[in-house]
Amino acid sequence: MKNLFLFLFLSNFATSFSQSQPQFHKDSVSIIYKIIDTSALKLDIYYPLDFNKKKIYPAIIFFFGGGWINGSLSQFLNHAKYFSSRGLITILADYRVSSKHKTTPFEAVKDGKSAIRFLRMNSKKFYLNRNKIIAAGGSAGAHIAAAADLTILEEEGENVSISSRPDALVLFNPVFDNGPGGYGYDRIGSRYSEISPLHNIKKGAAPTIVFFGTKDDLVPVKTAKLYKSKMEEVGSRCDLFLYPDQKHGFFNYKGDLKYFKETVQQADIFLESLGYLKGKPTIANFKF
């Protein structure tokens, strides 16, 4: 029943999509990617202004922060607008949180992996390159992105022959360590090794860029440095940018936009170096 619903939904989407051409970095197309229990989880998809249905595009999917307790798809809306202007298909992903769904971080990670798998399974419908899917997020959302790459958690009944791993990661003050003394251990407990990115780093880990404030009050900088070291030990790229005196959430779109623009610029340069973007960053002159 679930698969039939998604088939009909996607068929309707394909018809309506071919009949209209919205301003893609301003308007989104909403798609339900997962129905579980009584919850319907959606993706908001933004397309480049010069979108061409004869091409396929790299994609970046954003997971909001909020300690796996709450959060809003709008957190990364302006990131999505900018990166769609740079030629990516950008996606804002919903997932289950405890305040709304009475769930744990394990379900949040499973939803993140489901979302990536859904995009890869439906890559032709969405005109995206199934081999260039970037996962991004902030705090708990960055944890979901990293755990999607590194852990083996999967939603029961899904087609695991289709990979749920992202091809690159853009992480803003991520929760890396769920072990004793790490963030979330009080809720995760002895199962931390199943979900903690720091404890699952392995050869083949996706190239990663990480942004941290040196006065982050939730995740210590030493954890970010240890993560970078362990990534490099297995031969994976991990670029770490530290911002003096900045606290958790410093990168968000707010105030004078200084750190929002600085982190977006570095993420842009990183993605260009991987071949996901072309040309120099345009964030300095981008109009939101």
Domain locations in the chain? 2-285
Dist CA 268 CA 249 (whole Å):
19
Q: In DSSP terms, which residues pair with 34 in a beta bridge?
A: 41
Dist CA 41 CA 143 (whole Å):
19
Residue of 94, 82, 77, 112 lying closest to 41 (CA atoms): 94
Q: What is the pLDDT of residue 18?
A: 37
Q: What is the pLDDT of residue 12?
A: 43
Distance of CA 241 to the CA centre of its chain: 18
Mean pLDDT by 10 residues, the chain (288 residues): 40 38 58 94 94 95 97 96 96 97 97 98 96 98 98 96 98 97 94 97 98 95 97 98 97 92 98 97 90
Residue 118, Cβ neighbours under 10 Å: how many? 25
Q: What is the pLDDT of residue 4?
A: 34
Q: What is the pLDDT of residue 14?
A: 39
Q: What is the pLDDT of residue 26?
A: 53
Residue of 273, 210, 211, 206 lying closest to 234 (CA atoms): 206
Name the packing angle between helices 258-273 and 77-85 (round to 10°). Answer: 40
- Contact predicate 101/36, CB 8 Å: no
Q: What is the pLDDT of residue 173?
A: 97
- Contact predicate 90/160, CB 8 Å: no
Note the pTM of the prediction, 2 decimals: 0.91
CATH of 2-285, one of 3.40.50.920, 3.40.120.10, 3.30.830.10, 3.40.50.1820: 3.40.50.1820
Q: What is the pLDDT of residue 255?
A: 75
Q: What is the pLDDT of residue 27?
A: 62
